[in-house]
A and B are shown apart, each in its own frame.
Chain A
Amino acid sequence: MNRNMNADLAAVDGRRRLNMDKLLTIICFVLLFIIVIIPIFMIIYNAFFFEGTFSIDLFKEQLTADKNLSAMWNTLKIALFATILGTIMGVFYAWLLGRSDIPAKGLMRALFNIPYMFPPFLGAMAWDLLLNGRSGYLNRFLMTTFGLSKMPFNINSIAGIVFVEVSYYFPFVFLQVVSALERMDPTLEESARIAGAKQGTVIRRITLPLVKPAISAGALLILTTSLAHFGVPSILGYAQGIYTLPTRIYAVIYNSGGSFEGIRQGAALSVMLVAVVALALVLQNKILSTGNYDIIKGKSMRPTLIKLRGAKAPLFLVAIFTLILIVFVPLVMIVLISFIKAYGLPLTPGNFTIAQYLKVFKAGGTLDSIKNSLIVSITAGVVCMFLGTLVAYVVQKIKPKGKEALEVISVLPYSIPGTVLSIGVILAWSGNLGITLYNTLWIILVAYMARYLSFSMKTSSAALLQVHSSLEEAARVCGASHSESLADITLPLIRPAMVSGFFLIFLPAMREVTTSILLYGPYTRTLGVQIYSLRDAGMIPQAAALATVAIGLIIILNAIVTQITKDRKGV
């Protein structure tokens, strides 16, 4: 059939096929240019150029200001300690739960995952309520109980910030190392034992070096996240005048009332922050650079468990204590405070009420903030799911010239701090380029898209690598056009990955505060911003009530995700 096809028609057809690939590639570049390149460019431009001429004065001025220098110093100190302590804690618990015969492993692992999905700034809020240097509940309790003359703890300090960050960031290392330990070939350790090495030697000489890449990957994640983190230092540090670069950027812009000068100063500080992050990455690379080991296999094995014997009971107690401290205490505190009549009253049943919930939901902003967060998170999730898949497809399958650039551009926004990204977005989309999105939900959406694009890009990329090109080619040869083969073969095969990409974006976007705190307008508060501003305005029980609702929402959404991803058929 079709044998006498007109040769010219065929030729035209042949060229059109080429063009579809080209079209996808061009769309990719254009969208990434708009979403990523323009905001980043605007930051750099505004930090160094003033009214069209190059000037390094602003930058110098910001760099030498005492307040900024101390903020930079604080940022580094907090990040360094959080990374070191978080890594030690993560590795220790990964080993304990992955390799020892400690009881209740499954339950403990599930509980250790909670800090991972819990917004750290809510944890900071809870600890502030407990250990605030002036009025913390636990502090006052300890004072009266032990007759102390001053508050024993002060969470509003560098140490306090480090403590809260560690309790939320150690899962980065924990999760990485636990999975590496599980995928490690147990015969490697067994052969060392057979060769005569003692248990301690095996851990030191065999196990640790083998999981070193996993440790350093997790540590890197803690380091960059902490450097860029806004929530915890802003809640705990503000009152004491402890600033980090991200909170300093926020303060500069907030104090200037959103004036252009303030944003420009913010841009200069952003460049500093990015430089610090970049420096940290380079240092980390130097210190921890190791080859990757292929010895860790993809298939799952059953490693031999190490008997703790006498140490079992104490270690179990330590683990339980840690769990209570980092998971239950903050959670319970937030919930309790949400029921209190007024902040500061003792936590006795007589002082409990549900009035705070009624107040919060009667206030117009609350429902709107939930609605806003849902709209922006779902939209960002859906758009990124498709855009990320598009980028992944172009990079993995079309492989145009400059695909490396495409990859870097799409991952770039995630490695720059959310605060910095917000400033770029403000500079780009508040009229400077003729488009004004400021004070609309759109500007938050654009920022989320840039920030979270890499999540969906990575999951889709990994899935596409699994789809051998011969599957699509077979469809082409069977008579499907290029777009048909995409729709019939490739997309259905990576659909599960796309769905999990969506949730990877939707969930963090729902609880996000760092980016939207700089972008919200009177009618576009997000859930995170609403909690933050309620607390800022001193309405702490109300903030706690809304936080409780947010936590409930997160738990429900997470349960739904787990259910969905569990049911999906393995392809």
Chain B
Amino acid sequence: MVNRYLNRALLAGAVLSMLALAPAWAGSKILATSAATQIEGAAGGGLVPWAVIGGYGSEGEWGGAASLTRVGLPDFQLGTAAVHAGVNNRVEFSFAQQTLQVDNLASVLGSPLDGVIEQHVYGAKARLWGDLIYEPWPQISLGAQHKVNLNPAAGTVLGANSDSGTDWYLSASKLYLHALFERNVLLNGTFRYTDANETGFLGFGAEGESDPKFMVEASAGLFLNANWALGVEYRQKPDRLNLGESDWRDAFVAWFPSKRVTVVGAYTDLGKVALWDDQTGWYLSVQINN
């Protein structure tokens, strides 16, 4: 177990330092318009994937990002190490390694959960039409997230019928200039077609109810200036295991000191996760862009 964390930290550290030490070159996108990284690795807010293609690469360019994210909750720690790259502001590829750790296993002896659940998410996204800023209509993108749960025992015990699954989502994002208090406002709406339980940490599907469902996700952000944004997010979730799985929400502060660095801090409310109520806590994500 120590080895696993050490390996991940080394891998993430290597990727981050490679990007940070790479020759100074930045894509042409406007500062902050490559968004942050959501927990499954796609460009987006903290919880919700946006129609934005990751990285600062505009037309004829590419751009990449590597990030480390930590969510601290009363009974869990969620960690994500993710990379994504966008090409030609048209397609995005991403990979995320997620770890959900139960803090105090001794106190929950007899629970069906492993101490650690690890999940890999392979993502792809394509911009179908529109532009985030310049055209009257929103930017629309279609994405997929293929998830493989490496510790499916907990989900299986609770009734999930698969250890892997694929989410499909359609997102619309638009930055409205000079929209509210003379500030720029970002709005995003995402429809997700998913059969994941707790985003896959508790497996996929359920006995007798294996059809995926449509879920609604939304984000709103206000840019105080070019470098700082405040926002909120909402992510609806299914409850196919009948555990009272909660919708997720957060309120975030995003800082874009330069095209190289993105930092997002948030207060998150994940509600009831598996058997544990009131999972509210902090969220911190640090991202390096090439």
| A in complex with B | no
Residues of chain B having any CB pair with chain A under 8 Å: none
